[in-house]
Chains A and B, each alone.
Chain A
């Protein structure tokens, strides 16, 4: 089992560019989550999904969109990147109230 994988691992964007982060899990989990991690702020939930075809906003959703077309994949999109979106992005999956399993992260820099 690969667990939770994220693509890419690193990316540098210019302000205004767009990109998509891909998260894949092979544990057949219903729930998937996207977080961002910034120094001194812990992890903040961006968007989440409770099943294929469903998405919902988390704590900091502005500037991001998501899609869950397949149960195993959860995509995070930035339509017009801003320097404030420089962060480390983590995807996680789980079964509701139980523990979440995290991917290795994507380090994004927006210039």
Chain B
């Protein structure tokens, strides 16, 4: 069975410092991988995805993520964090297969707190 793990409940970082949010997955085959962000009292917003190709994926708001097949990881990164990046971040995986129907398996989420 597929699973997604976000090992950190919360990540604290000072504004201007690099931000990393970790994600590892367990799924058969080559998955589609996604990152979403959720601001307070809002729905999830799509940040970026990896399907195939270059292991470094660039997304919205200056975020990027690196796919590492050997480590089954898809960590989210931002070179210089902003206070406005404070939010809840979700990693998600969609395994390939005719019966997946676009369904996503979400991690538990990581709260990012960026302090001025």
| Chain A bound to chain B | yes
Q: B-contacting residues of A (Cβ < 8 Å)?
A: 4, 31, 33, 40-45, 48, 50, 56, 58, 90, 92, 94-105
The interface of chain B, by Cβ under 8 A from chain A, is 4, 9, 32, 34, 36, 41-46, 49, 51, 90, 94, 100-104, 106-109
**Interface residue SS majority, chain B:** loop
Q: A50-B101, A56-B101, A96-B101 are in contact. Are A102 and B106 (CB under 8 A)?
A: no
A97: contacting residue among B41, B44, B51, B90, CB under 8 A: B51
Chain A residues within an 8 Å CB radius of B94: 97
Q: B43 near A97 (CB under 8 angstroms)?
A: no
Q: Does the CB pair B109–A42 fall under 8 Å? A: yes
Would you list 28 pairs from A and B whose C-beta atoms are within 8 A, ordered by A residue? A31-B102, A33-B103, A40-B9, A42-B90, A42-B107, A43-B90, A43-B106, A45-B103, A58-B103, A90-B44, A92-B44, A94-B102, A95-B102, A96-B101, A97-B32, A97-B94, A98-B49, A98-B102, A99-B46, A99-B49, A100-B46, A101-B46, A102-B43, A102-B45, A103-B43, A104-B43, A105-B41, A105-B43
Separation in Å of the A7 CB from the closest CB of chain B? 14
- Whether B102 contacts A45 by the Cβ 8 Å rule is no
Q: Would you call A102 and B101 a contact (CB within 8 A)? A: no
For A92, list chain B residues within 8 Å (CB): 44
A45 vs chain B, min Cβ distance (A): 6
**Docked CA distance A41–B36 (Å):** 15
20 other contacts beyond A45-B104, A102-B36, with CB at 8 A cut-off? A31-B101, A31-B102, A33-B102, A33-B103, A40-B9, A42-B90, A42-B106, A43-B90, A43-B106, A44-B106, A48-B101, A92-B44, A97-B32, A97-B94, A97-B100, A98-B102, A100-B46, A102-B44, A105-B41, A105-B43
